[in-house]
Structure 1
Amino acid sequence: MSKPNVALSSLVTQAWDQLQGQVLKEIRQRIEELAEAERETRLGRARHARGGASPWRRWGYRVRKVLLTPWGLIQGLRLPRIRDVEKKQEVGFLSSDLSQARLAEMLLASTLGGLSYRKVVNWARHHLGLAISTAWVGRVVEAAAERLADRRQQRFSARQFEALVVDGVWIHYRRSPRRRVRPGVLLVAVGVEFGGAFRVLDWQVADAETLNAYGLLFQRLYARGLEEVALIVADGCGSVPGAAQIVYPGAQLQPCLRHWLKTLEALLHQRSWLHKRHLRRDFWWIYEADHADQAEQWALHFCRRWARSEPDFVHAFWQGFQASVTFLKLGLRTWSYRLKTTNLAEGFFRNLRRFLGRFPGFLSPDHADRALGLYLLGAELN
């Protein structure tokens, strides 16, 4: 019985898979040595030498998460730092190559626009001077998909995040012979740790911001181990409280103050620019308080000041005031700037909205889901 022929390309792939880890390790070590030598050259003196007129000093190392190379991703790269002791600031001597960000953006563009891998290779050769192959591009995209899948299966501790900021990124799907252009939404959950650090935890593709869609998003987070959340920040959408009550009944709901203020401004009797400016200034000052009692005192002063000129605004404001200071009641004042509004999520995806404006839309919900994942991975490279 004759055995089938073995494709030479498969042997090449197997050989590269066996050597890639060793090659990347050698490249990382060599890059670190060259960067260290460059720092010594800039300082102009040996490591333990004293004296010298220069105020520059060695200042430890910075660990870069990933570095994109034609041979793969290098992780945990240690890059040396220099500090100016007189100006008390870091002196940059290693500049980031924008080709990485541009290549990551091009790979995202190929996913969104249906661009072939061959065109990506030609673009990288002409604009970045990178000699890459279609097989390499395919491996990068596949590796990104695997990283994305692993990331969305990552386990959390029971209360790893003190707050969730949820918001929707509105998108649209392309027209086809069988359907018209239709809208969609990417529901995004951003976790905020007690120290103030944040990251995107998960997302859900849906047709609208419905109770069922937010419920699926929260249930997936709960299944990954996030069983308790102290605070959920939302833009006032009626679907979020219902979904949170089912999955996280103990969580407090903090309305987005920016969206709430926009709703209240519809009740204004005077709509001049100067009038709104003064009212907004007084409104935002309330939420600079150190605790809820102080905020309530300032809110009462706000009501007395504006009750005569804007009675409807003040009445609606006071009815919703207690809910608006939930973040202060939970003792999260130290990084409340992340919890007053949903700007944390909206600002994070501002560049995504700008980028999506170049394309006619998504092909399907799966296409939108994959594109958002690639965007997040590309953001990590930067």
Structure 2
Amino acid sequence: MICYNQLRPDGGLQTMAKRKKNPASKQLMEHLFENYEIKTALDVQEALKDMFAETLENMLEAELDEHLGYDKNEHGAADTTNRRNGKTQKKVLSQLGDIELNVPRDRESSFEPQIVKKGQKDVTGIEEKVLSMYGRGQSQRDIEATINEIYGFNMSHETVSKITDKIIPQVNEFRSRALKPFYPFVFVDAMYVPCKTEHGTGQKALYNIVGIDVEGRKEVLGFWLSEGENSREWLQILEEIKRRGVEDILFISLDGLPGLQDAIQVVYPNVNLQRCIVHLMRNATRYIPRKDWVKFAKDIKAVYRAVSLDEAKVLFDEFKKTWAKHGAAVAVWEKNWTSIENLFTYPENIRKLIYTTNTIESYHNQLRKVTSRKGAFPNEMSLFKLLFLRINDIQNVQTVPLTHKHQSPSE
């Protein structure tokens, strides 16, 4: 590695590594000047296009050799009745522009090339880039502008839609896939997203379920769209995930939607239900002045973060005396005291996981990063495609350390 000095912004010298030239690039240049009339940068590009096309054609020929079991110039007897059958012209888009390829054929039409597949019109990787931009929440107009800026050609709204539509089978497969038989922790909640309707634009309920398996891995079990959130819809969703293989759940964290607990217990009668503490906090603080919120939250947190249930009971008695003048706020916690008691069945790190729906709220925040950029979704699948791509980005790295062995309620 050769080094040289570069002037830093502060005026000092910085030693930089100079990139070593690849000897092959010199050979390529010599080949270009010997075989092509190079006068401009455009001439270089046209020459490279020609060489790229030739390289792809050679690779296609090699693939056909492998498929037939004999080389093109081999004249001896072959172990197959299949033979070469000429070539077909095909135009594909490359990063150098459009190129013409002569694709070899076989008589039985059983050859399935891999370097440039049948029906493939693009070898730039642009489709992957479009899906990546779509998955980050970019609008179709922004995608079209980016492609034009980078590659110098216009990509229509219809083309972007066709590219993203190619993942629809994967979306449907993801939403109907088989699930694990047991999840120690499951979080259920809904968020609202803007969608176009017959009467204009409105908000629809996006139902989400996130599970944590026995290895501590977070998994999005599914997502569903409906006009609004209600327990009847949740019942159908829970019945669906049971049909997809979820036999038992140890804990479900949920909000206070009327009828939701009953819907869950119809499908999973042995599950432990845990009201979300964050939702309880929001409900309780409606009954006290804003200036007292911080003190109120600090006092109740001391209760559900106590080291034992006995200590929690003592602290809760003190809490009730301190905030007795705000009876409605205290009543929220009294009514849901069993949710606090349930927490102390498990060690502290598991309690932290259970006593909030931060898991699914964090997931909702990840989705909002991309859904908020899109405006109103024209149809259900346009939303589902975006969710699927976003989930692929965030799901693979999410794990939660579990230190307690969790058994299915049926065991």
CA contact (8 A) 1:107 1:120 kept: no
Give the whole-Å Cα distance in 2 for the aligned partners of 1:277 and 1:107. Answer: 38
CA spacing shift, 1:276–1:133, aligned 2, 3 Å: closer
Is 2:316 aligned against 1:220? no
User: Which of 278, 284, 288 is matched with 2:295 structurally?
Assistant: 278
CA spacing shift, 1:244–1:372, aligned 2, 3 Å: same
CA contact (8 A) 1:214 1:239 kept: no
User: Which of 188, 194, 198 is matched with 1:166 structurally?
Assistant: 188
Deviation per CA, 1:320-379, whole angstroms, max 9, x where unpaired? 2112343433x2642333322222112222143243333331112333333322321243
The residue aligned with 2:206 is 186
The residue aligned with 1:349 is 364
User: Counterpart of 1:259 in structure 2: which amino acid?
Assistant: H
SS of 1:360's partner is coil
- Higher Cα Rg, which structure: 2
Is 2:295 aligned against 1:247? no
User: Which of 307, 310, 314 is matched with 2:330 structurally?
Assistant: 314
User: Which of 199, 209, 212 is matched with 2:219 structurally?
Assistant: 199
Is 2:255 aligned against 1:235? yes
CA contact (8 A) 1:174 1:360 kept: no
CA contact (8 A) 1:125 1:131 kept: yes
CA contact (8 A) 1:173 1:362 kept: yes
User: Counterpart of 2:193 in structure 1: which amino acid?
Assistant: I
User: Which of 369, 379, 382 is matched with 2:394 structurally?
Assistant: 379
SS of 1:166's partner is strand
CA spacing shift, 1:167–1:318, aligned 2, 3 Å: same
Give the whole-Å Cα distance in 2 for the aligned partners of 1:20 and 1:299. Answer: 69
CA spacing shift, 1:107–1:228, aligned 2, 3 Å: closer
CA contact (8 A) 1:165 1:191 kept: yes
CA spacing shift, 1:350–1:242, aligned 2, 3 Å: same
User: Counterpart of 2:208 in structure 1: which amino acid?
Assistant: V
Provide structure 2 residue ranges, at least 5 long, that are not aligned to the other structure.
1-87, 93-101, 105-109, 118-123, 398-411
CA contact (8 A) 2:135 2:386 kept: no
CA contact (8 A) 1:205 1:368 kept: no
Is 2:393 aligned against 1:338? no
CA spacing shift, 1:239–1:311, aligned 2, 3 Å: closer
The residue aligned with 1:126 is 149
Give the whole-Å Cα distance in 2 for the aligned partners of 1:280 and 1:192. Answer: 28
SS of 2:284's partner is helix
The residue aligned with 1:43 is none
By how many angstroms is 1:9 displaced? 6.7
By how many angstroms is 1:16 displaced? 7.8
User: Counterpart of 2:293 in structure 1: which amino acid?
Assistant: K
By how many angstroms is 1:207 displaced? 0.9
Give the whole-Å Cα distance in 2 for the aligned partners of 1:225 and 1:302. Answer: 44
The residue aligned with 2:125 is 70
How many aligned positions are there? 290
User: Counterpart of 1:324 in structure 2: which amino acid?
Assistant: I
Is 2:231 aligned against 1:211? yes
CA contact (8 A) 2:137 2:371 kept: no
Aligned alpha-carbon RMSD (Å): 3.9
Give the whole-Å Cα distance in 2 for the aligned partners of 1:130 and 1:16. Answer: 31
The residue aligned with 2:176 is 153
CA contact (8 A) 1:205 1:369 kept: no
Identity among equivalent positions (%) equals 17
User: Counterpart of 1:362 in structure 2: which amino acid?
Assistant: F
Is 2:383 aligned against 1:368? yes
CA contact (8 A) 2:131 2:164 kept: no
Give the whole-Å Cα distance in 1 for the aligned partners of 2:278 and 2:227. Answer: 24
User: Counterpart of 2:363 in structure 1: which amino acid?
Assistant: F
Range that drifts further, 9-18 or 344-353: 9-18
Superposition pairs of residues 34-73 of structure 1, within 5 angstroms: 70=125
SS of 2:194's partner is strand
Deviation per CA, 1:253-283, whole angstroms, max 9, x where unpaired? 1111111111112233xx152x221111011
The residue aligned with 2:317 is 300
CA spacing shift, 1:203–1:107, aligned 2, 3 Å: closer
Taking structure 2 as the reference length, the TM-score comes to 0.59
CA spacing shift, 1:223–1:305, aligned 2, 3 Å: same
CA contact (8 A) 1:173 1:364 kept: yes
By how many angstroms is 1:240 displaced? 2.0
Give the whole-Å Cα distance in 1 for the aligned partners of 2:379 and 2:127. Answer: 29
